[in-house]
Amino acid sequence: MENMKIILSNDDGIIAPGLLALAKELSSISEVTILAPERERSAISRAITLREPIILKKREILEGMKAYAASGTPADCMKVALLSFCDQPDVVIIGLNPGSNLSTDIVYSGTVAAACEASMLGTPGIAVSMDDSEDGSFNFETGARAARELVEKLDFSKAPEGIVLNINVPNAPWEDIKGWRLTKLGKTKFHERYIHRVDPSGNDYFWINGVLLPDDDDPSSDYLSLKQNFISVTPLMGNFSLPLDEEKAREWLGALLEN
């Protein structure tokens, strides 16, 4: 698409290396504007700022690129960008998140939340995450290349209304990627635990901990596809609507709907 406009954001802060990798890759094929939180705001979901102003500060990220750090949340960034501050983009891309966003755990993700917020505001939203890393290193070049391929191949003017794409990219060199796979949210998730301790003043406090419990044998699940070195593409609805079968819904809810 000629003269494409893209807004980039994330939940890791404007100096995050994943965001920089995306900006470098996509700026060669589109007009990119960055509006991202000034600091790390992971696992904040769709929280918004209500009782204080959202302050934007211009930043130098790449020469000639408009970039702004916001005092608010990822969802705040989308509201400010799309309702008040930026020209209307063709698509919003959120990432690259250093760590996967899979299964029902997406409800906590600031990355996915920002993409959903963009969708709710009328712009296709894409969340892009890298698979987890045991040693803390990430192949952001692979994720950025995946985002570029997605932008080059999809016509966002034909995107279904309200669509969000949750993309998870294997943390591997590009030559090891097997391709793209259309997926659904899987069952794999973290089993959360809270470690209870007492401080010197006698106050109870808790640290969250967790163990990943793989529970997917369906190759169309996002988790299994990612582990098989496919780029997982999971369509979501930004407003969380569930396309229920009306007849089955009425059968189940009949006792309520009779009155």
Q: pLDDT at residue 216 above 90?
A: no
Element spanning 97, H or E: strand 91-98
Mean pLDDT of all residues belonging to the chain? 91
Is 239 in contact with 120 (CB distance < 8 Å)? yes
Structural domains of the chain ordered from first start: 5-188+217-257 (3.40.1210.10)
**Cis geometry, peptide bond prior to residue 256 (ω within 30 degrees of 0):** no
Predicted local confidence at residue 1, as pLDDT: 55
- Token pair 């593409």: residue: 233
Of residues 246 and 41, which shows the higher confidence score? Answer: 41
Strands (E), 199-238: 204-213, 230-237
Is 85 in contact with 70 (CB distance < 8 Å)? no
**With bands split at pLDDT 50, 70 and 90, how would you rate the model's confidence at 253?**
confident
- Specify the amino acid at residue 90: D
pLDDT tens sequence across 22-51: 999 999 999 999 999 999 999 999 999 999
Element spanning 226, H or E: helix 222-227
pLDDT tens sequence across 90-124: 999 999 999 999 998 899 999 999 999 999 999 99
pTM (two decimals): 0.90
Predicted local confidence at residue 246, as pLDDT: 72
Backbone angles phi, psi at 142, to 5 degrees: -65, -45
Alpha-carbon gap, residue 197 to 206, rounded angstroms: 6
